[in-house]
């Protein structure tokens, strides 16, 4: 009997690999009429009428062997569909999976990835496949973590939604917008329960904000540290529209004892060292929450938030590392003591040893950084004029200047392209020359209006956060005439 998807009420489709073999003297393709009949039987419309989707087909040349990849609700339906082939030879049907699901499960023989049964979640295979098709660099299939490729950073002010990097700690919640509510509780004068429609009826604001994972650049640290092996593409910019947080806080009314706003997401699961299930939670002091232009966003680049980016509502905290911009928001709770949750006090801390003792510091504002997006790493370039381009940003203040060094030469100031922006990246370019054939290194560094400048080398810490060392790209200069 076919399985039924509990969320959709429809038939759950499975994947099957089919191998059909026949004797050479019984080859159906040798009879033009029979061969044509089999082609018509395998047509997508005919298969669809029998509840079958043909995903692929291939014949092994000269071996009288046909392979099919079929999607169907049950194996019996596959065998009924293949009866014409069974009359001509053998038919073997194998329940199958996809590479994305196998990797998400942790191996070919592993069960599907475990999820928090209390919250409906997006299928791990589907989420991963979407990311692959969008050209994202997948680091982990479940929970899905993938970065934007550096070449994809070229171009516009904002990153298209499909190419925006994805960072998750748990499964991706798939929330019903009709039943979803944002609850505002705790030390408030009036508890609130706001629907998506309620939020749309409140004053709106649109901001362009760059989000960056605090672990961006972790893979470049030496010695290596634990954690997702991010290169330099865990950063993207989007235009966000929603309700200023202060509008909601004013409607709830904070009582005299409230000192922090706790943001709670729908995503959760087990974490090491914590009993039971842990929700993704972060807090901001009430002063910062009111003054930092925090947005409760329901739109991304003019479209409803994609599910992987927090649908139906997420926080956007401009200038801060993206861990503060909690996705899939369900609750705002005003509290009167410092929050001690896992992602506040166990993780997202700079931790290093100084003078024989461990020193910790919370991860907050993005550190100043410039990236070279053109030319690409290991690209072969012609001798002569060379355009070096990239992006730069800082959570503390707008970018003041970007400088580039070519083949070990002096730092040259680049031209900032467009207006300075407080919370989003700044495009820059430098037109220079590179005449000597052979390998050469291009380097870039940024300085913000607060006087912060990228360091020459890495600042190592145990969790690998905030690595904003000067970015270098190696290229090769061709000889004249090549």
Q: Examine the pLDDT at 7 and tell me if it is beyond 60.
A: no
pLDDT in tens, 442-467: 999 999 999 999 999 988 999 999 99
Mean pLDDT to the nearest integer, 295-301: 98
Structural domains in the chain plus CATH codes: 14-96 (3.30.70.1060), 161-347 (3.90.420.10), 369-477 (2.60.40.650)
What confidence score (pLDDT) does residue 101 get?
83
With CA atoms as reference, report the closest residue to 137 among 163, 157, 109. Answer: 163
Q: What percent of the chain is modeled with pLDDT above 90?
A: 80
C-alpha angle 91-94-100 in degrees, rounded to nearest 5: 140
Is pLDDT at 136 greater than 60 in this prediction? yes
> Rounded mean pLDDT of 17-22?
95
The three-point CA angle 29-35-39 to 5° equals 125
Is residue 200's pLDDT more than 90? yes
pLDDT tens per residue, range 305-354: 999 999 999 999 999 999 999 999 999 999 999 999 999 999 999 998 88
Residues 37 and 185: their CA atoms lie apart, in Å, by 66
pLDDT given for residue 110 in this prediction: 75
CB atoms within 10 A of CB 220: 17
Q: How confident is the model at residue 116 (pLDDT cuts 50, 70, 90)?
A: low
Q: pTM for this structure?
A: 0.88
Mean pLDDT of 62-72: 94
Q: For residue 4, name the pLDDT band (cuts at 50, 70, 90).
A: very low
Quick one: which of 22, 53, 17, 48 has its CA closest to 35?
22
Cβ neighbour number for residue 110 with a 10 Å cutoff:
13
pLDDT of 160 over the 70 cut: yes
- Average pLDDT on 220-249 reads 96
Confidence of residue 97 (pLDDT cuts 50, 70, 90): confident
Whose tokens are 């419309």? That residue is 45
Q: Is the pLDDT of residue 401 over 90?
A: yes
Which of the two residues, 110 and 262, has the higher pLDDT score? 262
Poorest-pLDDT segment among 83-97, 143-157, 322-336, 394-408: 143-157
């Amino acid at each position: 009997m076919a399985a039924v998807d509990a969320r959709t009420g429809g038939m759950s489709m499975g994947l099957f690999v089919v191998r059909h073999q026949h004797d050479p003297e019984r080859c159906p393709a040798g009879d033009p009429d029979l061969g044509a009949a089999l082609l018509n039987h395998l047509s997508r419309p005919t298969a669809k009428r029998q509840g079958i989707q043909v995903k692929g087909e291939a014949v092994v040349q000269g071996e009288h062997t046909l392979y099919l990849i079929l999607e169907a609700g049950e194996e019996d339906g596959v065998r009924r569909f293949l009866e014409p082939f069974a009359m001509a030879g053998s038919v073997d049907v194998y329940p199958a999976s996809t590479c994305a699901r196998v990797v998400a499960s942790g191996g070919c023989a592993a069960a599907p990835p475990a999820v928090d049964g209390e919250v409906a979640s997006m299928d791990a295979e589907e989420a991963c496949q979407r990311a692959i098709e969008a050209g994202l660099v997948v680091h982990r299939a479940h929970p899905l973590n993938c970065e934007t490729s550096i070449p994809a950073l070229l171009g516009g002010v904002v990153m298209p939604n499909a190419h925006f990097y994805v960072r998750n700690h748990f499964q991706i919640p798939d929330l019903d917008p009709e039943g979803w509510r944002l609850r505002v509780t705790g030390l408030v004068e009036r508890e609130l329960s706001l629907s998506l429609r309620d939020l749309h009826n409140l004053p709106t604001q649109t901001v362009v904000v760059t989000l960056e994972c605090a672990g961006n650049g972790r893979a470049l640290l030496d010695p290596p540290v634990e954690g997702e092996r991010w290169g330099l593409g865990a950063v993207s910019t989007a235009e966000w529209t929603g309700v200023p947080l202060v509008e909601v806080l004013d409607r709830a009314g904070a009582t005299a004892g409230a000192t922090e706003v706790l943001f709670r997401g729908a995503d959760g699961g087990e974490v090491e060292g914590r009993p039971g299930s842990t929700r993704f939670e972060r807090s901001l002091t009430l002063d910062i929450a009111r003054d930092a232009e925090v947005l409760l966003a329901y739109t991304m680049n003019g479209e409803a938030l994609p599910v992987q980016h927090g649908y139906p509502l997420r926080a956007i905290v401009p200038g801060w590392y993206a861990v503060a911009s909690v996705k899939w928001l369900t609750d705002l709770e005003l509290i009167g003591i410092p929050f001690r949750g896992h992602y506040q006090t166990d993780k997202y801390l700079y931790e290093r040893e100084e003078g024989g003792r461990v020193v910790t510091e919370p991860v907050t504002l993005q550190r100043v950084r410039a990236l070279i997006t053109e030319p690409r790493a290991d690209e072969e370039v012609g001798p002569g004029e060379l355009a070096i381009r990239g992006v730069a940003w800082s959570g503390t203040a707008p970018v003041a200047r970007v400088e580039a060094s070519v083949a070990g030469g002096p730092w040259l100031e680049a031209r900032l392209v467009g207006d300075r922006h407080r919370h989003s990246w700044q495009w820059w370019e430098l037109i220079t020359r590179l005449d000597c054939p052979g390998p050469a290194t291009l380097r870039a560094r940024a300085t913000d209006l607060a006087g912060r400048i990228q360091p020459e080398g890495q600042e190592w810490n145990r969790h690998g956060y905030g690595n904003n060392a000067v970015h270098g790209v190696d290229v090769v200069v061709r000889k004249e005439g090549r």
